[in-house]
Amino acid sequence: MHPTHPARRARGGRPIALVATALAAATALAACGPSISGGSGDGSDGGSSTAADADRLQAPTGDSPSGEITIWDRSGDLFNVFDAVIDDFNEVYPDIVVHHEAVDIDAKLQNTLITETDVPDGVFLDDAKVAGYADYLWDLTDVLEPYTDDIAPQKIDVNSIDGGIYGVPFDLDPGLLFYNATALEAAGVDVTQIDTYDDLLEAARQYQAAVPGSKPIHLEQSAFLGQLQLEMYASQLGTSIADENGELRLDSDAYRQILGWLDTVQTEGLGTRAEYLSPSDVGPLENGQQVFYPWAIWFSFAPEQQLTQTSGDWRAMPLPAWEDGGARSGAMGGSSFVLPKAGENAELAWLFYEFLMYDEAGYSAVWGPNDTYPNGLATSIPAYAPAADPEKPLFGPVAGLGDQDLWTTAVEAGSEIPGGAPTPSWWAGAVDYLGTNVQRMLDGELTPDQVIEQSTADIQANLVDRQ
């Protein structure tokens, strides 16, 4: 979930996407926010100012910007990390008061934007949701321009709609292959020979031969997370459920290859079907029955805090490639910061996010050692290249991964993620079709071709055509 922004169809009437729920239709209201564009607004610019320009946020021009901003984040550890950075921000901008609020964003943001009541100046938002809210958000193309060339192309792409950029990229979540090094070594399986997904199949077969009854590869049983993982695999091949114009592209060789591989894992009995880190997942991870986990970097949390018996046994490596010489990583999830047009001081909120993401003091405080994460935030990496320097790690070696230098592994994998396309506003609704049909395939009810055929027809008729 890049530098170029191909045209998309008009956004009028696009429904707001809420991940993990069905799409909710929203009445398009004209967003009214402070006029802070660079033009005079009186036509004295000779007519060069356009409606599109008026939707583009401009940074404050004064030497001492002042005012109050309201920032919404989800409650939890990441809220605490961002909250601790406010004091550092105020050393640079002492006259900007930050009201930092922990909010159930999924439950509250949609109605807040529609009614324009108590609208925050900045919001933490999943990349998959940005497109669905774009009508209510500032286009950040101009304020991001000094940094765009140094931001991961995939993150620019997922935040781009109709030529504008609607989110300040936060994290990059590269896919990695996590593996139980201790168990694999004991079984005589050499992970250094895993370069492609075919190699991973062969390694799983070798492990199963050495450990009868094992099902070495994780197969996700949640329809939502399974679809998210499917998109990680597709990201490696430079594709996704929809193209830059929002048109479906499931009917492709890329998806046939991925679904065919998943089907092989299941039919050969090489996969453990379980929901991510549920009890039925943790058990096989702890007892050596499940030893390969292709997932986003945030799986690193598991060996640190949840896999108490095998903590220290796990390692991470780049994902296998789908073909020799192919990309060794894809994006799985990710978040950004958005600035609603109806917020009172969005231009000041931009200064907060600029400090957080593009100032060394800011991004070092987020990913480096802090009170919440004494070793640093090791569940993602920055999307900004100067912050993601493999020679200057922000978080330390991960004990749950045997003190592995995860920073370098993840940063190098992240650099291989191909560019992508904006996440369509109907992505979450597609879980009812694509995500569910993938599970039906793993149950033996559908073939890969049937998954593609049925999902394409249902998503087109029930989601795309109803926009």
- The reported pLDDT for the residue numbered 36 is 28
pLDDT tops 60 at residue 50? no
Compute how many other C-beta atoms are within 10 angstroms of the C-beta atom of residue 30: 8
The CATH class for the domain spanning 51-173+335-403 reads: alpha beta
Report which of residues 371 and 425 the model is more confident about.
Answer: 371
pLDDT tops 90 at residue 403? yes
- The reported pLDDT for the residue numbered 52 is 56
- Each residue's pLDDT tens digit, 322-358: 999 999 999 999 999 999 999 999 999 999 999 999 9
d(CA 372, CA 366) in angstroms, rounded, equals: 10
- The reported pLDDT for the residue numbered 39 is 32
- Each residue's pLDDT tens digit, 209-222: 999 999 999 999 99
Q: How confident is the model at residue 23 (pLDDT cuts 50, 70, 90)?
A: very low
- Each residue's pLDDT tens digit, 304-329: 999 999 999 999 999 999 999 999 99
Q: How confident is the model at residue 265 (pLDDT cuts 50, 70, 90)?
A: very high
- The reported pLDDT for the residue numbered 51 is 52
Give CA separation, 200 vs 189, 262, 265, 268, 464, in Å. 11, 12, 10, 13, 36
Is residue 80 within 8 Å of 372, Cβ to Cβ? yes
In the chain, where does the domain assigned CATH 3.40.190.10 lie?
51-173+335-403, 175-331+433-466
Q: What is the mean pLDDT of residues 232-238?
A: 97
Q: How confident is the model at residue 287 (pLDDT cuts 50, 70, 90)?
A: very high
The average confidence (pLDDT) of the chain is: 90
What would the CATH number be for the domain defined by 175-331+433-466? 3.40.190.10
- The reported pLDDT for the residue numbered 53 is 82
- Each residue's pLDDT tens digit, 95-118: 999 999 999 999 999 999 999 999
pLDDT tops 60 at residue 295? yes
HEC sequence for 386-438: CCCCCCCCCCCCEHHHCCECHHHHHHHHHCCCCCCCCCCCCCCHHHHCHHHHH
Is residue 227 within 8 Å of 434, Cβ to Cβ? yes
Q: How far is CA 450 from the centre of its chain?
A: 28
pLDDT tops 50 at residue 18? no
- The reported pLDDT for the residue numbered 467 is 81
pLDDT tops 80 at residue 1? no
pLDDT tops 50 at residue 45? no
pLDDT tops 80 at residue 42? no
- The reported pLDDT for the residue numbered 128 is 87
d(CA 134, CA 14) in angstroms, rounded, equals: 9
- The reported pLDDT for the residue numbered 17 is 36
